[in-house]
């Protein structure tokens, strides 16, 4: 019959095995999320500091043409309470931009989504048609802007970062809010705005009865939700790494920690400044295009972005703790190895001394001539080794 201490030890061993098994499952899931390391947010080629040294001395508001830029496309959606229309323009130039401006001046709310901001000719045409400030156009072309909010005359300019939940790619998305219209600019086709498009197509949607400021709120809300989804995946990966470190950390864990730390930093750069942007939309009374009714909904977005930012800070702290725990685990493993080698050396030290003593080539060594000297010598060595082990055990060095 097992004693209580044996039962407790067996239960602890079973829990440890179960924890390691669960940690392995979580780590496999983290591997699919992060692809240890550098996969969730675009791989190791994601630059933390973008190069802009080639623009030193250029006048403010300069648009540098890029020969390899793909032509910009525009998606237009007009809607009101009782109707909605949609069309697409495949190649935006002066004539197309003028047509967009005429549509924006029409009835209802007009949302124009321009994909391909590297096409500076298209940006210049849209800027000319809508009367956009040159500095605003420059910020649109440079996709490394920090999320911000600025007021250019009759236009409210908002820069944000879009985190794709599936691929983890981070890109700049900007909005220009005007009287009766909203312009959105993104680096390339493909975004997270499909829920907003579905709401526009739904006749009973609240969005159909509101102005362009409410549309801006809806798009910002989707951006924050998409970022929060990525933060949750990073949280799962962090927990998996923590469980793996508590189990049996291997050499790949160090690279995983470094990669995950980089991923969290990239998401933090996208989410953290959004707090200031949303707060300005909520509190700035100079923004006449944003109604008090919409500000109430923006407060909800503000709560979400603050929660996402706090979650990112928590993940950073936990990941720092995981890194320290990993270093402690590695150091402890090295100490265990050194302790085992020390015990072996301590056991063989007296044995080596005795074998060396009786291995000397002297004629007058009385013990060598005893009938049972050899087996007695082996027994003495065994007793010394066993006594050393018992001594270490009593001292709790083993």
Q: How far apart are CA 148 and CA 143, in angstroms?
A: 13
Per-residue pLDDT of 269-303, as tens digits, reads 999 999 999 999 999 888 889 999 999 999 999 99
pLDDT value at residue 68: 67
Tokens of 56: 């030193």
- Residues 290, 281 contacting (CB under 8 angstroms): yes
CATH number of 53-328: 3.30.460.20
CATH of 329-394, one of 1.20.58.340, 3.40.50.360, 3.50.50.60, 3.40.50.9100: 1.20.58.340
- Residues 222, 196 contacting (CB under 8 angstroms): yes
* Whether this model's pTM surpasses 0.95: no
**Which positions ≥6 away from 112 have C-beta within 8 Å?**
74, 75, 76, 100, 103, 104, 181, 182, 183, 184
* pLDDT lower than 70: segments of the chain: 1-68, 248
pLDDT value at residue 13: 53
Q: How far apart are CA 91 and CA 70, in angstroms?
A: 10
77 bridge partner residues: 86, 111
- Residues 161, 173 contacting (CB under 8 angstroms): yes
Q: How far apart are CA 214 and CA 293, in angstroms?
A: 9
Listed by start position, the domains of the chain span 53-328, 329-394
pLDDT value at residue 37: 38
pLDDT value at residue 19: 43
């Amino acid at each position: 019959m097992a004693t209580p201490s044996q039962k407790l030890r067996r239960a602890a061993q079973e829990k440890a095995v179960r924890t390691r098994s669960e940690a392995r499952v979580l780590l496999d899931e983290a591997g699919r999320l992060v692809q240890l390391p550098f996969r969730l947010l675009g791989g190791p080629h994601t630059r933390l500091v973008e190069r802009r040294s080639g623009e030193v001395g250029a006048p403010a508001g300069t648009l540098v043409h890029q020969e390899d830029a793909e032509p910009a496309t525009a998606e237009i959606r007009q809607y009101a309470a009782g109707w909605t229309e949609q069309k697409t323009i495949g190649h935006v130039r002066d004539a197309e931009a003028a047509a967009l401006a005429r549509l924006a001046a029409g009835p209802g709310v007009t949302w124009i989504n321009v994909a391909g901001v590297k096409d500076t000719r298209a940006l210049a045409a849209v800027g000319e048609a809508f009367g956009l400030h040159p500095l605003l156009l420059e910020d649109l072309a440079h996709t490394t802007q920090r999320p911000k909010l600025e007021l250019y005359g009759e236009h409210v300019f908002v820069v944000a970062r879009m985190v794709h939940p599936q691929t983890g790619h981070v890109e700049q998305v900007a909005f220009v809010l005007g009287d009766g219209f909203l312009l959105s600019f993104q680096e390339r086709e493909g975004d997270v705005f499909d829920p907003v498009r579905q709401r526009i197509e739904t006749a009973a949607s609240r969005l159909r009865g509101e102005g362009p400021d409410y549309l801006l709120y809806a798009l910002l809300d989707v951006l924050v939700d998409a970022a929060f989804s990525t933060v949750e995946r990073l949280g799962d990966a962090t927990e998996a790494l923590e469980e793996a470190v508590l189990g049996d950390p291997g050499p790949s864990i160090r690279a995983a920690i470094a990669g995950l730390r980089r991923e969290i930093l990239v998401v933090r750069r996208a989410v953290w400044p959004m707090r200031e942007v949303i707060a300005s939309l909520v509190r700035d009374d100079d923004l006449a295009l944003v109604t008090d009714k919409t500000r109430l909904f923006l407060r909800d977005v503000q709560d979400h972005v603050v929660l996402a930012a706090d979650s990112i800070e928590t993940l950073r702290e936990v990941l720092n703790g995981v890194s320290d725990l990993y270093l402690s685990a590695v150091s402890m493993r090295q100490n265990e190895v050194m302790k085992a080698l020390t015990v072996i050396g301590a056991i063989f030290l007296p044995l080596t001394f005795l074998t060396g003593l009786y291995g000397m080539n002297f004629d007058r060594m009385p013990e060598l001539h005893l009938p049972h000297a050899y087996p007695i010598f082996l027994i003495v060595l065994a007793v010394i080794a066993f006594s050393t082990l018992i001594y270490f055990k009593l001292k709790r060095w083993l």
